[in-house]
Amino acid sequence: MLSRYICPTDRRGVYTDVSPEERVLLKSARPTNDTALGEALDQLASEDEFAPLIDVLRA
């Protein structure tokens, strides 16, 4: 489903290609991921040290 290959002009870089089948899977998982991420950010937003970061991430 995923393929990785080294950048032909800069061998330090690695690229990843996502197959069409994997794109369908990722698209179907997106709502669940968005919900989980939103809940985690909501919890952190109530902590003074994280609140500014959460504001930036949501902007």
pLDDT at 17: 92
pTM of the model: 0.64
| Distance separating alpha carbons of residues 23 and 4, to the nearest angstrom | 15
pLDDT at 53: 94
Beta pairing partners, 54: none
**Average pLDDT per block of 10 residues along the chain, 59 residues long:** 87 90 95 96 94 92
Cα-based distances in Å from 6 to 19, 41, 57, 59 = 17, 34, 31, 34
